[in-house]
Amino acid sequence: MTAPTTHPGAGPGNGAAAADLDGVTRDDASLRRFLHGLPGVDQVGADARAATLATRSIKTTAKAQAIDLAIRMVDLTTLEGQDTPGKVRALSSKAMRPDPSDPSCPATAAVCVYPDLVAVAKQTLGASGVHVAAVATAFPSGRAARDIKLADTRDAVEAGADEIDMVIDRGAFLSGRYLQVFEEIVAVKQACGPAHLKVILETGELVTYDAVRRASWLAMMAGADFIKTSTGKVQPAATLPVTMLMLEAVRDFRLATGTQVGVKPAGGIRTTKDAIKFLVTVNEVAGRDWLDPDWFRFGASTLLNDLLLQRQKMQTGRYSGPDYVTVD
């Protein structure tokens, strides 16, 4: 991922784009003033706009292109206590060749696993180009001492992780200890070394849209390469209105700083129809620059199966049987 220069056509700012970020993070009081000075979110208006975007539809060739793009954006994920090396090898094989009967089917963006299974995924994926993402920092709760979180991150990177998905300390954030959260993200970013950092906000626990906007800006100012909605362990997870707000945040952050940050909704996105709603929202809110796996991802496990079934339906005119795709 390479950060482009500011793109003037990315859309209008929400007021925060003109903010002077110099000195904002020097102390807790300055950070608080900045974050609480961001424009408030009209929840009714945000919900209404997201609902309108969800009604948009695309057909034929555009739909086929959207399905292939969505496949390329999937972080194929298994984050269960019962995960085994065999399951991760199978999932990695599926990520490389989602449809073994059709070599034209693109690979997914990444495989996302726990840190102790990174080496297994890395060995299986080899030089395929599919990345290995690892959750870290005491996922999913984030309840651990900072040195443990940093060790968790370093271990995953040393095992071969290309990307780290960290969780913020929601207790600290909701208590207003913004500088603590900021400094922890900075430290984890440093521990990542060459790996990219996705910062999980766990929006289902942030309660308000204003908090989602503040957490998004906080993570980006601390150096996040991606901001991610959820762990998938808390409901609600990736909703369209919350993702829309995060897309507004990355758009305005690039207008303010020239730095582009990606967005990853995760949890609860299971159908092709849902994935297309998210892609339409990306295009309408952030702009075409984000319609790329380098800048937008789906954290999912079952979504890929539906994308494959819909892909074959468009090619053959009929739905495949239940045995067409593997059960993850």
Distance, in Å, from the CA atom of 255 to the CA atom of 303, rounded to the nearest integer, reads: 32
Which one from 75, 99, 152, 165 is the annotated catalytic residue? 165
Q: What is the pLDDT along the chain (328 residues), one digit of tens a residue?
A: 443 333 333 333 333 333 457 688 888 999 999 999 999 999 999 999 999 999 998 888 899 999 999 999 999 999 999 999 999 999 999 999 999 999 999 999 999 999 999 999 999 999 999 999 999 999 999 999 999 999 999 999 999 999 999 999 999 999 999 999 999 999 999 999 999 999 999 999 999 999 999 999 999 999 999 999 999 999 999 999 999 999 999 999 999 999 999 999 999 999 999 999 999 999 999 999 999 999 999 999 999 999 999 999 998 877 776 666 676 6
| Closest alpha carbon to 77 in 278, 230, 242, 277 | 230
Token pair, residue 83, equals: 């995960």
Helix axes 178-192, 28-36, angle to 10 degrees: 100
Give the bridge partners for 163, in sequence order: 133, 196
Q: Give the DSSP letter of residue 231.
A: -
CA nearest neighbour of 170 among 219, 224, 135, 134: 219
Domains and CATH numbers, the chain: 38-313 (3.20.20.70)
Name which of 316, 279, 226 is nearest 53 in CA terms.
279
Taking the C-alpha atoms of residue 241 and residue 84, their distance in angstroms, rounded to an integer, is 35
What's the pLDDT at 254?
Answer: 96
Cβ partners under 8 Å of residue 7, min gap 6: 254, 287, 289
- Please indicate whether residue 116 is annotated as part of the active site: no
d(CA 109, CA 326): 18
Nearest Cα residue to 247 out of 234, 262, 236: 262
228 assigned to active site: yes
Q: Which of 94, 149, 228, 277 is catalytic?
A: 228
Cα–Cα dist 178/139, whole Å: 20
**Is 165 labeled as catalytic in the residue annotation?**
yes
Find the length of the chain. 328
Report DSSP letters for 133-174, one per residue.
Answer: EEEESSTTTT-S-HHHHHHHHHHHHHTT-SEEEEE--HHHHH
- What lies within 8 Å, CB to CB, of 105 at 6+ separation is 68, 71, 97, 98, 99, 308, 311
Residues 6+ apart with CB under 8 A from 192: 153, 157, 164
| Cα separation values, 206 from 12, 283, 285, 295, 318, Å | 26, 26, 22, 23, 43
Q: What pLDDT is recorded for position 319?
A: 72
Position 15 scores a pLDDT of 37
In angstroms, the CA 185 to CA 87 distance is: 31
From the list 94, 189, 198, 264, the catalytic residue is 264
